[in-house]
Amino acid sequence: MQHPAFEEVSFHHHTDDDTFYKKVKKTTILLSIITVIELAIGLIIYNIHKGESPNELLVLMFKGMVCILTLAKAYYIVSVFMHLGDEIRNMVMTIVVPLLLFIWFITAFIWDGNSYRNLRNNYDKHFQETTTPAKGHGHQDKHQDPPAGKQ
Amino acid sequence: MATTAQVHQTKWWSGGKSPFNLEYGKLMMWYFLMSDAFTFGAFLISYGTIRFSQNFWPDPNVVFNAFPGAGHANLPLAFVSVMTFILIISSVTMVLAVHAGHKNDKAGVVKWLGWTIVGGAAFLGCQAWEWHHLITGEHAVLVDGQIDLIGQTMRANPWGSLVPHESVAAALQKTPHETLVALAHQSNHALSHEQLAAMTDQQLVNTINIDALHVRSKGPVAFGGYFYGITGFHGFHVFSGVVINIVMLKMTQNNVFQNRGHYLMIEKAGLYWHFVDLVWVFVFLCFYLI
Amino acid sequence: MSETSTIHTGAVHAVHHGDHGHGHHEQSFISKYIFSMDHKTIGKQFLITGIVWAIVGGLFSVLFRLQLGFPDQTFPILETFFGHWAKGGQIQPEFYYGLVTIHGTVLVFFVLTAGLSGTFANLLIPLQIGARDMASPFMNMLSYWFFFLASVVMMSSIFVHTGPASGGWTMYPPLSALRQAGDGQKIGTDLWLIAMALFIVSSLLGGLNYISTILNMRTKGMSMTRLPLPIWAMFFTAVLGVLSFPVLLSGAILLIFDRNLGTSFYLSDIVINGEILPNEGGSAILYQHLFWFLGHPEVYIILLPAMGMVSEILSVNARKPIFGYMAMLGSMFAIAILAFLVWAHHMFVTGLNPFLGSVFVLLTLLIAVPSAIKVFNWLTTLWRGNIRFTPAALFAIGFVSLFISGGLTGIFLGNSTIDIHLHDTMFVVAHFHIVMGVASFFGMFAGVYHWFPKMFGRYMNNTLGYIHFWVTMAGAYLIFWPMHYQGLAGMPRRYLDKRGWVSFNQFTDLDKMITVVSIIVFAVQLMFVFNFFYSIYKGRRVMTQNPWGANSLEWTTPINPGHGNWEGEIPEVHRWPYDYGKDGREFIPQTEPVGANESKH
């Protein structure tokens, strides 16, 4: 079947209404649930930080979980809403494979950012003293109510 | 889907046809979005790099805790979750508009595209409120031994670590009159601004409840730059998406696509719109959650 | 160009996508030559704009070479032309830095990116894959006009009172982020950033078009492995551009913010003219990361099209199949991937984490493998061929020579320990000029000489072509080879005046020689430009459809193809494009069906 307007397109996808609406509904609910979980984790992190000595490892674990959930959300948006999941496999690969570059992109940048901090903490004591939060009344909020603010 | 067999039988790469069974416009849109993903990726990765090069970074739950009309209530993440849901729902309405386009259903396209535009505009409104709130906020910050009231701007960050009470008490003694009046006003709503202004510095200091007063040191300036830069760039994408959608709506109403026989333009606009939603998922992650 | 207009075939068949097909109608001068949507015209527009920029960039290099070669002498004529920039006939420091900066920017981006891949991707992609035009001719036109706009902005920056950007072509902050740092950091840098942003838009529009055209618009039978190598090269080039230019855009946007909105992305702890700046927390290294994430792929954006065209031209003129077609594809693919993984080898001495640096050393040295594969393939293509030494073939062979010489010094620089000594010396200048600058220019020259008959229906003058080749070849080595020795001796690049160092006095005469040679080479390039424009109007006319006896599809079009390229149906393709000297036949065009008794290649 030739597409009416583009001769390079060999045939057309057809999805029946029922499957389509079911799929969209399912995805919407899924995205909402993931977002709610993410928010819940955000609040958990907030409460951990309020404690006397926050467990950094626990915080890191929760942050890792949010990252994974975000990737899941991205997957559903791209695959269902943008219909990439319905495309030919090779097309999917041309999108997914270049994104792998982000792995080294992120790793190298963050690695060097971290190293820059270590270098300055080692060789720029002023930087270290003025920017490191003092222990005891560090960056954790011990108070329930918000900082003074004007609406 | 009678097409599965066809997919396997067709010699996709032998020329004379699209190897991906996609018209060139959609292909271009996909690769444009890929390229845009690298623009946003570079911004977010830069943000991560700077954040990793700092010893201290503000906790997003402390920064983003306001809600329109909720006064001083501490509602971390509440408003941004509203924004997130607006964008997700507008993505869903866009999916429905594209689907209506597949069926050459003009009324459906108009309806769902209309809702998508509403969603986009609502999101932009939320963002405008949030920016306004952050920029005009007055937060007590310890600067050079005295207390200063500053908002979150590109040049200043009021979200450093909390200053211990002893230092606050000492700093209050050196703080200028106007600032003391403002601070007293925040903790004591019974007295009018004029009444407070008439008081002496020492009286003002006595009015201020030090336990409720959260004074912070200055935070990393880059926070504001990245927040406004990246959410602004995203907001610009939302804005251009809304404009594109409005153009599509007008074209639909003028029967442009009806006469053309297909609604492929709506699909391309849809891809762009979903991408805007996709980027927000990551902005949400990087600025509000972790 | 007059011939292209008279022999307008008008046989533009319903263009591949019906929703904006062109009927046959008389085109006005404006829609035919200025706002043209014909890929061939757009290619020529890119080429001619590129030539203008190459003259500007080349002239700038002659000017600063005058300063480097003859720092004691005055040239009153310079003051006549440049006023206070060359007070007393001597190039002033601000002017020198402006010249160096604009020379680098213009040649890297405007000449060797837009002028090279803009020209040949536009010209060759539709012609060699068998398409009537680009997928979106309109976006293609926009791509040129954004480039033109970028050119206007960049050109105007040369004429502003405080002078053009002078922070080096890499535009590193904090220097480039602070207006108070110098005249060149004022409006000139703003214009530079705007021009680059426009340039990125142009390259994006072009790149997206190239990719979707190559994927979607190939004629029947033109499978990916039957594509001529220039097309593969353009494809990888476009992919590199689409994925890396946006990162430069991000970096440039952040720099614009730092310059204009008081943010601290790249700035921290700065005292300038006794003033303490409030900026803190930024990282100048971050800009370098962002810049080189584009910057390194950029050198392959420059080099790959040249590689592809050289492969084609060598095979056609050696009358032999290209050696290792699949290995060529594989190595180009490997280069394209590695291009994204090695950027920080430009930053070994910036304070980059040394361990991270060692990872980048490893990845960098890996590039030697695909590069070597390509070199051996070119050499084996030439081996025992019946080489026709046309100017195009000579430039292609020259490319291989330069690529080897320049590539070898890359191995020195890719090692972080050796780089500590060589960084920012003339050694680096020598390395990248040979391997990326001159080599790509050779690819471009080869392409111009080879496809000139297709572009204008006439030949370029051969004698001038030979003079052009031999002088440029000898000149390139005479200019850049000695710079290796200067660099090894520690002579820094970018310095205005090195007379203060006794250790560099030994190079005074060498520098004079380099300057003299560069003036000669520049003059010979002007001769090439003359040859180019003269031949457009007065060159020997092309009388046959296929003057080089080549296999690829562009030589099946009429001598002066109209918009739409083929008069009848687009030909179908039955074989790869490199059947030269096969079964006793000199060449077998791609359109010829495979015979029953034909041997396998």
Does A124 score more than 70 pLDDT? yes
- In a domain, residue C552? The reply is yes
Higher pLDDT, C594 or C13: C594
Cα C24 versus chain centre, distance: 36
Which are the contacts of A58, defined by CB distance < 8 A and separation ≥ 6? Answer: A48
| CB < 8 Å to A106, chain C | none
Does C196 score more than 50 pLDDT? yes
Q: What is the mean pLDDT of chain A?
A: 83
Q: What pLDDT shows up at residue C479?
A: 97
Q: In this structure, what are the phi and psi dihedrals at residue C472, rounded to the nearest 5 degrees? A: -65, -40
- Give me the mean pLDDT over the A16-30 stretch: 92
- In a domain, residue C527? The reply is yes
Q: Is residue B113 within 8 Å of B266, Cβ to Cβ?
A: yes
Cα–Cα dist C314/A81, whole Å? 48
Does B280 score more than 60 pLDDT? yes
Check if A122 contacts B (Cβ < 8 Å).
Answer: no
- Give me the mean pLDDT over the C285-314 stretch: 96
Chain C residue at shortest CA distance from B257? C19
Least reliable range by pLDDT among A134-143, B180-189, C55-64, C564-573 = A134-143
Which are the contacts of C354, defined by CB distance < 8 A and separation ≥ 6? Answer: C416
Chain C residue at shortest CA distance from A4? C18
Check if A10 contacts C (Cβ < 8 Å).
Answer: no
CA distance A112 to chain C (A): 6
- In a domain, residue C275? The reply is no
| CB < 8 Å to C353, chain A | 111-112, 115-116, 119
Cα–Cα dist C233/C564, whole Å? 23
For the segment C439-498, what is each residue's pLDDT rounded down to a tens digit?
Answer: 999 999 999 999 999 999 999 999 999 999 999 999 999 999 999 999 999 999 999 999
Does C6 score more than 70 pLDDT? no
Q: Is residue C423 within 8 Å of C490, Cβ to Cβ?
A: no
Question: Greatest CA span in chain B, whole angstroms?
Answer: 89
Cα–Cα dist C88/B200, whole Å? 68
> How confident is residue C25, by pLDDT bands cut at 50, 70 and 90?
low
For the segment C451-464, what is each residue's pLDDT rounded down to a tens digit?
Answer: 999 999 999 999 99
- In a domain, residue C273? The reply is no
Chain B residue at shortest CA distance from C290? B42
Q: Given B32, B36, B225, which is nearest C257 (Cβ)?
A: B225
Residue-wise DSSP of C163-178? -S--STTTT-TTGGG-
Chain B residue at shortest CA distance from C575? B14
- Give me the mean pLDDT over the C536-554 stretch: 95
Find the domain containing C252 and state its range.
34-266+280-587
Helical residues (DSSP H) of chain B, grouped into ranges:
3-9, 24-52, 60-63, 78-102, 106-136, 165-174, 177-187, 193-198, 201-207, 222-253, 256-260, 264-283
Query: CB B49 to CB A113 under 8 A?
Result: yes
Residues 81 through 120 of chain A touching chain B, CB cutoff 8 Å: 81-82, 87-88, 90-91, 94-95, 98-99, 102, 105-106, 109-110, 112-114, 116-117, 120
Chain C residue at shortest CA distance from A105? C341
Q: What pLDDT shows up at residue B5?
A: 63
Q: What pLDDT shows up at residue A52?
A: 73
| CB < 8 Å to B19, chain A | 88, 90-91
Residue B86: strand pairing partners: none
pTM beyond 0.90: yes
Q: What pLDDT shows up at residue C236?
A: 97
Does B87 score more than 60 pLDDT? yes
Which are the contacts of C51, defined by CB distance < 8 A and separation ≥ 6? Answer: C115, C529, C532
Angle at C142 between CA C137 and CA C146, to 5 degrees: 155
Share of chain C above pLDDT 70, in %: 96
Does A142 score more than 60 pLDDT? no
> How confident is residue C95, by pLDDT bands cut at 50, 70 and 90?
very high
Positive or negative, the CA dihedral B144, B149, B151, B152 is positive
Q: What pLDDT shows up at residue A139?
A: 42
Q: What is the mean pLDDT of chain B?
A: 90
b/e C58-68 (16+ beta carbons within 10 angstroms → b): bebbbbbbbbb
Does B8 score more than 80 pLDDT? no
> How confident is residue C583, by pLDDT bands cut at 50, 70 and 90?
confident
Domains, chain B, in order of start with CATH, read 23-136+221-289 (1.20.120.80), 139-217 (no CATH)
- In a domain, residue C11? The reply is no
Q: In this structure, what are the phi and psi dihedrals at residue C571, rounded to the nearest 5 degrees? A: -65, 155
Residue type, B238: V
CA distance C195 to chain B (A): 18
Gap between the terminal Cα atoms of chain B:
42
Model ipTM over 0.90: yes
Q: Is residue B123 within 8 Å of B86, Cβ to Cβ?
A: yes
- In a domain, residue C433? The reply is yes
Q: Given C283, C293, C353, which is nearest A111 (Cβ)?
A: C353
Residue C495 has which token pair?
């310095």
Query: CB C353 to CB A115 under 8 A?
Result: yes
Least reliable range by pLDDT among A31-40, A77-86, B171-180 = B171-180
Does C4 score more than 70 pLDDT? no
> How confident is residue C601, by pLDDT bands cut at 50, 70 and 90?
low
Cα–Cα dist B278/B22, whole Å? 22
- In a domain, residue C187? The reply is yes
Does C209 score more than 60 pLDDT? yes
Question: Greatest CA span in chain A, whole angstroms?
Answer: 72
Check if A18 contacts C (Cβ < 8 Å).
Answer: no
For the segment C122-166, what is each residue's pLDDT rounded down to a tens digit?
Answer: 999 999 999 999 999 999 999 999 999 999 999 999 999 999 999
Q: What pLDDT shows up at residue C17?
A: 41
Nearest one of C330, C362, C353, C311 to C552, comparing CA atoms = C311
Cα–Cα dist B150/B285, whole Å? 26
Helical residues (DSSP H) of C86-136, grouped into ranges:
93-105, 119-129
- In a domain, residue C14? The reply is no
Residue B121 has which token pair?
């505009």
- Give me the mean pLDDT over the C233-251 stretch: 96
Check if A3 contacts B (Cβ < 8 Å).
Answer: yes
Q: Is residue B261 within 8 Å of A4, Cβ to Cβ?
A: yes
Higher pLDDT, B243 or C24: B243
Higher pLDDT, C577 or B163: C577
Residue type, B287: F
Q: What pLDDT shows up at residue B201?
A: 83
Chain C residue at shortest CA distance from A126? C269
Please tell me chain A's helix, strand, coil percentages from 3-state DSSP, rounded to the nearest 5: 70, 0, 30
Query: CB B15 to CB C222 under 8 A?
Result: yes
Report the domain count for chain C.
1
- Give me the mean pLDDT over the C385-390 stretch: 95
Angle at C292 between CA C286 and CA C298, to 5 degrees: 155
Does A148 score more than 70 pLDDT? no
Least reliable range by pLDDT among B153-167, C10-24, C31-45, C498-512 = C10-24
Cα–Cα dist C211/C217, whole Å? 10
> How confident is residue C44, by pLDDT bands cut at 50, 70 and 90?
very high
Query: CB B139 to CB A147 under 8 A?
Result: yes
CATH of the domain at C375: 1.20.210.10
| CB < 8 Å to C269, chain B | none
> How confident is residue B49, by pLDDT bands cut at 50, 70 and 90?
very high
Does C329 score more than 60 pLDDT? yes
Angle at C172 between CA C144 and CA B46, to 5 degrees: 85
The answer to whether the peptide bond before residue C278 is cis (omega within 30 degrees of 0) is no
| CB < 8 Å to B35, chain C | 204, 208, 242-243, 245-246
Q: What pLDDT shows up at residue B3?
A: 57
Residue-wise DSSP of B95-153? HHHHHHHHTT-HHHHHHHHHHHHHHHHHHHHHHHHHHHHHHH--EEEEETTEEEEE---
Check if A126 contacts B (Cβ < 8 Å).
Answer: no
| CB < 8 Å to C222, chain B | 14-16
Check if A115 contacts C (Cβ < 8 Å).
Answer: yes
